[in-house]
Amino acid sequence: MACACLLALPAFAGEEAGALVVVLDPGHGGKFPHDGAHGRRGLIEKNISLAVAQKTKEVLELAGATVVLTREKDDDISLAERARIANEAGADLFLSIHCNSMETRADRQITRGVETYFLSPDPTDAEAKMLAELENGGPGAVPLPKAASPVEGILNDLALGQARNDSAALARLVQNSVIRGTKATSRGVKQAPLLVLSGTRMPSVLVEIGFISHAQEGRLLGREKYQARVAKALAEAVRDFADKVLARRLFAKAPAAPAPAASASPAAPASAEPAVDAAAVVASPGGTR
């Protein structure tokens, strides 16, 4: 169970049919080599990512969101299936949760911190390229899907362009929130050709919540209290994204109110901004689906 401090989030808008839909993707699952990175004392990425996802789900549901997990136990779910689950759920956003790792003893001793990725065919740097290869299943993994024709490619770009732009904004919010909530080292927001993000049709990011290979950070990742802090930070990032990105876009798309009929009596001065029920708007941010 998540700790009581996780309840201090503003409600999204109740549990009506139009509530915010969030898909959380606990990275990896199943037997080796699909169980993810390994740390000291039996720590395994698949277990930590699932625990954090379950805690995040609890917080978001208490705040009124609808939350779907791509896996709820130790299952080996393909990358394509994870994206399919998100698309069929009509998700407003997709958040894949992972732990990072370094291979050499020297790197394991010093490398720690949080980094968040959004999709791009061009990795930020060599480390981002290497991470994408690992998360995608190795250098020989299936490449990012290409359009069958130039026309199809243009249509896909038009349909997904806004979601991709919003993914960068979501990545920044997730990164800032986790750093603020955990005081971990920030390794920044990066971009990489991650297959798990390539098949989704909504704003999607992958967050590496820490290095399981680092002695101190690995111990923290294995503790429930720290997992709860990460979960609270992820939920706050989702709340901020709904408020600052999804709701704002709905405000911009809302049709203008009809002009009032002419009256003989002098009209009262109009207020500078109309009153808006933000909670009701956030309830159904379907503009990016």
Quote the pLDDT of residue 268. Answer: 47
Quote the pLDDT of residue 11. Answer: 57
Residues in a beta bridge with 55 = none
Quote the pLDDT of residue 262. Answer: 55
Question: Are the C-beta atoms of 124 and 191 separated by less than 8 Å?
Answer: yes
Provide the residue-wise pLDDT of the chain in tens; the chain has 289 residues.
Answer: 444 333 344 556 444 446 899 999 999 999 999 999 999 989 999 999 999 999 999 999 999 999 999 999 999 999 999 999 999 999 999 999 999 999 899 999 999 999 999 998 877 778 787 778 778 875 544 444 555 555 455 445 544 677 888 999 999 999 999 999 999 999 999 999 898 998 899 999 999 999 999 999 999 999 999 999 999 999 999 999 999 988 865 555 555 555 555 554 554 444 443 343 333 333 334 433 3
Quote the pLDDT of residue 12. Answer: 60
Residues 13 and 77: their CA atoms lie apart, in Å, by 31
Quote the pLDDT of residue 8. Answer: 40
Residues 282 and 261: their CA atoms lie apart, in Å, by 31
Residues 119 and 94: their CA atoms lie apart, in Å, by 12
Judging by beta carbons within 10 Å of its beta carbon (0-12, 13-18, 19+), is residue 4 exposed, middle or buried? exposed
Residues 283 and 242: their CA atoms lie apart, in Å, by 9
> For the chain, which domains are there?
19-140+158-253+284-288 (3.40.630.40)
Question: In the numeric block, which tokens belong to residue 69?
Answer: 């997990």
Long-range contacts of the stretch 284-287 (C-beta < 8 A, 24+):
284/18, 284/19, 285/20, 285/92, 285/242, 285/246, 285/247, 285/249, 285/250, 286/18, 286/90, 286/92, 287/162, 287/246, 287/249, 287/250, 287/253
